[in-house]
Amino acid sequence: MTVIRARVLGFCMGVRRAVEMAEAEAGRKPVRTMGPLIHNPQVLASLRDRGVEMLDEGELPADLGGLTVIIRAHGISPALEEELLRHRAALTDATCPLVKKNQREARSLEGAGFSLFIAGEKRHGEIAGLQGYAPGGTVVSDAAEAAQAALSLSRRNPAAKTALIGQTTIGVREYAAIGEAIRGRFPGLKVVDSICGAVRERQESLRELCGRVDAVVIAGGRLSSNTRRLLDIARSLKKPAWLVESAAELTEALAAEIGGYQIVGLSAGASTPDSVINEIETKIRLLSP
Ligand code: SF4
Protein backbone atom coordinates (compact mmCIF):
# COMPACT_ATOMS: atom_id res chain seq x y z
CA MET A 1 0.00 0.00 0.00
CA THR A 2 1.18 3.53 -0.79
CA VAL A 3 0.32 6.52 1.41
CA ILE A 4 0.27 9.93 -0.27
CA ARG A 5 -0.02 13.11 1.76
CA ALA A 6 -2.05 16.13 0.61
CA ARG A 7 0.17 18.95 -0.68
CA VAL A 8 -1.03 21.16 2.21
CA LEU A 9 -2.25 19.72 5.51
CA GLY A 10 -2.19 20.26 9.27
CA PHE A 11 -1.49 23.31 11.44
CA CYS A 12 -2.38 26.71 9.99
CA MET A 13 -0.79 30.02 10.95
CA GLY A 14 -3.54 31.00 13.44
CA VAL A 15 -3.49 27.70 15.30
CA ARG A 16 0.31 27.52 15.42
CA ARG A 17 0.41 31.08 16.76
CA ALA A 18 -2.20 30.34 19.48
CA VAL A 19 -0.42 27.16 20.61
CA GLU A 20 2.96 28.92 20.71
CA MET A 21 1.47 31.78 22.74
CA ALA A 22 -0.04 29.34 25.25
CA GLU A 23 3.18 27.34 25.49
CA ALA A 24 5.20 30.51 26.05
CA GLU A 25 2.92 31.53 28.95
CA ALA A 26 2.64 28.06 30.52
CA GLY A 27 4.95 27.39 33.41
CA ARG A 28 5.79 31.08 33.85
CA LYS A 29 2.50 32.00 35.55
CA PRO A 30 -0.93 30.49 36.26
CA VAL A 31 -2.65 30.27 32.89
CA ARG A 32 -6.17 29.39 31.74
CA THR A 33 -7.69 29.35 28.27
CA MET A 34 -11.13 30.78 27.59
CA GLY A 35 -12.83 27.69 26.19
CA PRO A 36 -10.76 25.25 24.11
CA LEU A 37 -7.71 27.09 22.68
CA ILE A 38 -8.08 25.07 19.46
CA HIS A 39 -10.15 22.01 18.52
CA ASN A 40 -7.59 19.27 18.99
CA PRO A 41 -7.74 16.88 21.96
CA GLN A 42 -3.99 16.02 22.00
CA VAL A 43 -2.91 19.65 22.03
CA LEU A 44 -5.41 20.43 24.81
CA ALA A 45 -4.20 17.41 26.83
CA SER A 46 -0.58 18.47 26.44
CA LEU A 47 -1.43 22.01 27.64
CA ARG A 48 -3.36 20.51 30.59
CA ASP A 49 -0.25 18.50 31.50
CA ARG A 50 1.60 21.80 31.70
CA GLY A 51 -1.01 23.26 34.05
CA VAL A 52 -3.05 25.15 31.47
CA GLU A 53 -6.68 24.44 32.36
CA MET A 54 -9.75 25.57 30.45
CA LEU A 55 -12.37 28.02 31.73
CA ASP A 56 -16.04 27.36 31.08
CA GLU A 57 -17.99 30.43 29.98
CA GLY A 58 -21.03 29.38 32.00
CA GLU A 59 -19.06 28.92 35.22
CA LEU A 60 -16.50 31.70 35.43
CA PRO A 61 -14.92 31.94 38.90
CA ALA A 62 -15.84 35.22 40.62
CA ASP A 63 -12.20 36.26 40.98
CA LEU A 64 -9.65 35.59 38.23
CA GLY A 65 -7.06 37.91 39.77
CA GLY A 66 -3.50 36.60 39.28
CA LEU A 67 -4.49 34.47 36.30
CA THR A 68 -3.56 34.99 32.68
CA VAL A 69 -6.47 34.02 30.44
CA ILE A 70 -5.66 33.23 26.82
CA ILE A 71 -8.37 34.03 24.30
CA ARG A 72 -8.80 31.10 21.91
CA ALA A 73 -7.89 31.18 18.20
CA HIS A 74 -11.58 31.41 17.24
CA GLY A 75 -12.06 34.54 19.33
CA ILE A 76 -14.71 35.53 21.85
CA SER A 77 -17.38 38.23 22.01
CA PRO A 78 -16.58 41.71 23.37
CA ALA A 79 -19.11 41.06 26.18
CA LEU A 80 -17.19 37.98 27.35
CA GLU A 81 -13.89 39.87 27.10
CA GLU A 82 -15.31 42.61 29.32
CA GLU A 83 -16.62 40.03 31.77
CA LEU A 84 -13.15 38.45 32.06
CA LEU A 85 -11.63 41.86 32.74
CA ARG A 86 -14.33 42.58 35.35
CA HIS A 87 -13.28 39.32 37.04
CA ARG A 88 -9.71 40.75 37.13
CA ALA A 89 -8.13 38.38 34.58
CA ALA A 90 -5.04 39.49 32.64
CA LEU A 91 -5.80 38.73 28.98
CA THR A 92 -3.51 37.38 26.26
CA ASP A 93 -5.29 37.57 22.93
CA ALA A 94 -4.54 34.55 20.73
CA THR A 95 -7.48 35.26 18.41
CA CYS A 96 -6.31 34.44 14.89
CA PRO A 97 -5.64 37.73 13.03
CA LEU A 98 -8.04 36.62 10.26
CA VAL A 99 -10.84 36.02 12.75
CA LYS A 100 -10.07 39.40 14.31
CA LYS A 101 -10.33 41.05 10.89
CA ASN A 102 -13.78 39.50 10.37
CA GLN A 103 -14.90 40.63 13.82
CA ARG A 104 -13.91 44.24 13.00
CA GLU A 105 -15.59 44.02 9.60
CA ALA A 106 -18.84 42.71 11.14
CA ARG A 107 -18.87 45.56 13.65
CA SER A 108 -18.16 48.17 10.99
CA LEU A 109 -20.86 46.83 8.61
CA GLU A 110 -23.48 46.83 11.32
CA GLY A 111 -22.36 50.33 12.36
CA ALA A 112 -22.79 51.45 8.73
CA GLY A 113 -26.43 50.33 8.78
CA PHE A 114 -26.16 46.99 6.96
CA SER A 115 -28.49 44.13 7.85
CA LEU A 116 -25.92 41.41 8.34
CA PHE A 117 -26.24 37.70 7.55
CA ILE A 118 -23.63 35.55 9.30
CA ALA A 119 -23.01 32.20 7.59
CA GLY A 120 -21.78 29.38 9.80
CA GLU A 121 -22.51 26.81 12.49
CA LYS A 122 -24.85 28.26 15.10
CA ARG A 123 -23.10 26.60 18.03
CA HIS A 124 -19.52 27.25 16.94
CA GLY A 125 -17.39 29.49 19.17
CA GLU A 126 -16.23 31.61 16.26
CA ILE A 127 -19.84 32.40 15.33
CA ALA A 128 -20.73 33.24 18.94
CA GLY A 129 -17.75 35.61 19.03
CA LEU A 130 -18.58 37.16 15.64
CA GLN A 131 -22.20 37.68 16.60
CA GLY A 132 -21.01 39.56 19.66
CA TYR A 133 -19.50 42.15 17.29
CA ALA A 134 -22.74 42.44 15.29
CA PRO A 135 -25.57 41.62 17.69
CA GLY A 136 -28.25 42.45 15.11
CA GLY A 137 -26.85 39.87 12.64
CA THR A 138 -28.79 36.76 11.62
CA VAL A 139 -26.90 33.47 11.67
CA VAL A 140 -27.74 31.13 8.78
CA SER A 141 -26.26 27.68 8.49
CA ASP A 142 -27.24 26.76 4.92
CA ALA A 143 -28.83 28.11 1.73
CA ALA A 144 -32.37 27.10 2.74
CA GLU A 145 -32.11 28.98 6.02
CA ALA A 146 -30.57 31.95 4.23
CA ALA A 147 -33.47 32.08 1.74
CA GLN A 148 -35.95 31.99 4.62
CA ALA A 149 -34.13 34.72 6.57
CA ALA A 150 -33.89 36.90 3.44
CA LEU A 151 -37.62 36.47 2.77
CA SER A 152 -38.44 37.47 6.32
CA LEU A 153 -36.19 40.57 6.13
CA SER A 154 -37.63 41.58 2.74
CA ARG A 155 -41.12 41.58 4.28
CA ARG A 156 -40.00 43.81 7.14
CA ASN A 157 -37.66 46.04 5.16
CA PRO A 158 -37.57 45.47 1.39
CA ALA A 159 -35.03 48.29 0.92
CA ALA A 160 -32.55 46.96 3.51
CA LYS A 161 -28.83 47.30 2.78
CA THR A 162 -27.55 43.75 3.24
CA ALA A 163 -24.17 42.13 3.74
CA LEU A 164 -22.95 38.57 4.23
CA ILE A 165 -19.98 37.48 6.32
CA GLY A 166 -19.03 33.89 7.12
CA GLN A 167 -17.19 31.59 9.47
CA THR A 168 -13.58 31.37 8.30
CA THR A 169 -13.90 27.60 7.89
CA ILE A 170 -17.12 27.44 5.87
CA GLY A 171 -16.94 25.58 2.53
CA VAL A 172 -16.41 27.78 -0.54
CA ARG A 173 -19.41 26.30 -2.37
CA GLU A 174 -21.65 26.44 0.65
CA TYR A 175 -20.83 30.13 1.18
CA ALA A 176 -21.53 30.88 -2.47
CA ALA A 177 -24.88 29.04 -2.28
CA ILE A 178 -25.87 31.04 0.82
CA GLY A 179 -24.95 34.27 -1.00
CA GLU A 180 -27.06 33.25 -4.01
CA ALA A 181 -30.05 32.46 -1.80
CA ILE A 182 -29.93 35.95 -0.24
CA ARG A 183 -29.34 37.65 -3.60
CA GLY A 184 -32.67 36.23 -4.74
CA ARG A 185 -34.29 38.87 -2.45
CA PHE A 186 -31.48 41.42 -2.20
CA PRO A 187 -29.53 41.63 -5.50
CA GLY A 188 -27.22 44.31 -4.05
CA LEU A 189 -25.92 41.98 -1.30
CA LYS A 190 -22.36 42.84 -0.26
CA VAL A 191 -20.35 39.65 0.29
CA VAL A 192 -17.30 39.80 2.56
CA ASP A 193 -14.46 37.52 1.49
CA SER A 194 -14.17 35.97 4.94
CA ILE A 195 -13.10 32.40 4.19
CA CYS A 196 -9.60 31.68 5.41
CA GLY A 197 -7.07 30.95 2.66
CA ALA A 198 -5.53 28.20 4.80
CA VAL A 199 -8.85 26.35 4.91
CA ARG A 200 -9.39 26.83 1.19
CA GLU A 201 -5.86 25.55 0.48
CA ARG A 202 -6.42 22.40 2.53
CA GLN A 203 -9.77 21.79 0.82
CA GLU A 204 -8.28 22.28 -2.65
CA SER A 205 -5.28 20.07 -1.85
CA LEU A 206 -7.66 17.36 -0.72
CA ARG A 207 -9.70 17.62 -3.92
CA GLU A 208 -6.46 17.22 -5.95
CA LEU A 209 -5.42 14.31 -3.74
CA CYS A 210 -8.77 12.55 -4.21
CA GLY A 211 -8.04 12.40 -7.94
CA ARG A 212 -4.93 10.30 -7.24
CA VAL A 213 -5.94 7.91 -4.45
CA ASP A 214 -8.41 5.09 -3.75
CA ALA A 215 -9.35 6.10 -0.18
CA VAL A 216 -8.61 8.92 2.26
CA VAL A 217 -7.73 9.25 5.95
CA ILE A 218 -8.37 12.65 7.55
CA ALA A 219 -6.35 13.23 10.72
CA GLY A 220 -7.84 15.59 13.30
CA GLY A 221 -10.27 16.35 16.08
CA ARG A 222 -13.95 15.50 15.70
CA LEU A 223 -14.88 18.89 17.18
CA SER A 224 -12.85 20.70 14.54
CA SER A 225 -15.23 22.06 11.95
CA ASN A 226 -12.60 22.38 9.19
CA THR A 227 -11.48 18.78 9.82
CA ARG A 228 -15.05 17.47 9.54
CA ARG A 229 -15.47 19.48 6.35
CA LEU A 230 -12.45 17.71 4.82
CA LEU A 231 -14.16 14.41 5.56
CA ASP A 232 -17.37 15.66 3.88
CA ILE A 233 -15.40 16.74 0.80
CA ALA A 234 -13.68 13.35 0.44
CA ARG A 235 -17.02 11.56 0.78
CA SER A 236 -18.74 13.92 -1.65
CA LEU A 237 -16.05 12.88 -4.15
CA LYS A 238 -17.11 9.27 -3.53
CA LYS A 239 -13.92 8.24 -1.78
CA PRO A 240 -14.06 5.84 1.18
CA ALA A 241 -12.90 8.17 3.98
CA TRP A 242 -12.26 7.99 7.73
CA LEU A 243 -11.70 10.69 10.33
CA VAL A 244 -9.02 9.48 12.74
CA GLU A 245 -8.34 11.54 15.85
CA SER A 246 -5.21 9.70 17.03
CA ALA A 247 -3.07 6.69 16.15
CA ALA A 248 -4.71 4.87 19.09
CA GLU A 249 -7.99 4.83 17.14
CA LEU A 250 -6.40 2.77 14.39
CA THR A 251 -7.38 -0.67 15.54
CA GLU A 252 -6.11 -3.65 13.58
CA ALA A 253 -9.56 -4.04 12.02
CA LEU A 254 -9.67 -0.42 10.88
CA ALA A 255 -6.07 -0.47 9.62
CA ALA A 256 -6.84 -3.68 7.69
CA GLU A 257 -9.88 -2.00 6.12
CA ILE A 258 -7.77 1.00 5.12
CA GLY A 259 -4.95 -1.28 3.99
CA GLY A 260 -7.39 -2.99 1.62
CA TYR A 261 -6.91 -0.01 -0.71
CA GLN A 262 -3.80 0.26 -2.84
CA ILE A 263 -3.25 4.03 -2.66
CA VAL A 264 -4.40 5.85 0.46
CA GLY A 265 -4.42 9.66 0.76
CA LEU A 266 -3.68 11.45 4.02
CA SER A 267 -4.94 14.91 4.89
CA ALA A 268 -5.36 16.76 8.19
CA GLY A 269 -7.36 19.66 9.59
CA ALA A 270 -5.80 23.04 10.38
CA SER A 271 -5.69 22.21 14.11
CA THR A 272 -3.90 18.85 13.78
CA PRO A 273 -0.26 18.90 14.97
CA ASP A 274 2.51 17.30 12.89
CA SER A 275 3.18 14.73 15.63
CA VAL A 276 -0.38 13.32 15.32
CA ILE A 277 -0.21 13.23 11.50
CA ASN A 278 3.14 11.40 11.65
CA GLU A 279 1.92 8.86 14.23
CA ILE A 280 -1.19 8.10 12.18
CA GLU A 281 0.80 7.66 8.97
CA THR A 282 3.31 5.37 10.67
CA LYS A 283 0.58 3.21 12.17
CA ILE A 284 -1.32 2.88 8.88
CA ARG A 285 1.90 1.68 7.22
CA LEU A 286 2.70 -0.72 10.08
CA LEU A 287 -0.73 -2.30 10.39
CA SER A 288 -1.74 -2.52 6.77
CA PRO A 289 -1.45 -6.01 5.27
S1 SF4 B 1 -8.02 28.22 9.90
FE2 SF4 B 1 -7.52 30.28 9.17
S3 SF4 B 1 -8.86 31.60 10.38
FE4 SF4 B 1 -8.80 29.64 11.42
S5 SF4 B 1 -7.14 29.81 12.88
FE6 SF4 B 1 -6.27 28.96 11.03
S7 SF4 B 1 -5.44 30.71 9.87
FE8 SF4 B 1 -6.89 31.49 11.40
Position in ligand 1 atom list of the atom nearest CA 168 = 3
Last residue of a domain, one of 96, 113, 129: 96
Position in ligand 1 atom list of the atom nearest CA 126 = 4
Q: Same domain, yes or no, for 181 and 225? A: no
Residue 158: predicted pLDDT: 96
**CATH number of the domain enclosing 45:** 3.40.50.11270
Domain count, the chain: 3
Q: Same domain, yes or no, for 162 and 115? A: yes
Spatial distance between the Cα atoms of 190 and 176, rounded to a whole number of angstroms: 12
Q: Give the CA-trace dihedral at 97, 99, 100, 102, to 10 degrees.
A: 130
Whether 196 is in the pocket of ligand 1, judged by its Cβ within 6 Å, is yes
Q: Using DSSP, state whether 270 is helix, strand or coil.
A: coil
DSSP for 25-85, please give it.
HTTTS-EEEES-SSS-HHHHHHHHHTT-EEE-GGG--S--TT-EEEEPTT---HHHHHHHH
Q: How far is the CA of 157 from the centre of ligand 1 (A)?
A: 35
Q: How far is the CA of 11 from the centre of ligand 1 (A)?
A: 9
- Kindly give the interhelix angle for 172-183 and 143-156, rounded to the nearest 10 degrees: 30
pTM of this structure: 0.87
Residue 289: predicted pLDDT: 64
Q: Same domain, yes or no, for 155 and 234? A: no
Whether 73 is in the pocket of ligand 1, judged by its Cβ within 6 Å, is yes
- The letter for the amino acid at 106 is A
Q: Same domain, yes or no, for 273 and 236? A: yes
Q: Same domain, yes or no, for 172 and 221? A: no
Give the residue ranges of the chain where pLDDT is below 50: none
pLDDT digits over 225-250, tens only?
Answer: 889 999 999 999 999 999 999 999 99
Last residue of a domain, one of 96, 129, 144: 96
Q: Same domain, yes or no, for 266 and 201? A: yes
Q: Same domain, yes or no, for 43 and 78? A: yes
Respond yes or no: is residue 174 known to be catalytic: no
Last residue of a domain, one of 167, 191, 215: 191
Q: Same domain, yes or no, for 106 and 81? A: no
Residue 239: predicted pLDDT: 98
- 247: domain range? 2-10+197-287
**CATH number of the domain enclosing 206:** 3.40.1010.20
Active-site residue identified among 25, 81, 110, 126: 126
Q: Same domain, yes or no, for 212 and 158? A: no
Q: Same domain, yes or no, for 116 and 66? A: no
Q: Same domain, yes or no, for 103 and 184? A: yes
Residue 44: predicted pLDDT: 93
pLDDT digits over 159-207, tens only?
Answer: 999 999 999 988 888 999 999 999 999 999 999 999 999 988 999 999 9
Q: Same domain, yes or no, for 75 and 122? A: no
Position in ligand 1 atom list of the atom nearest CA 198 = 2
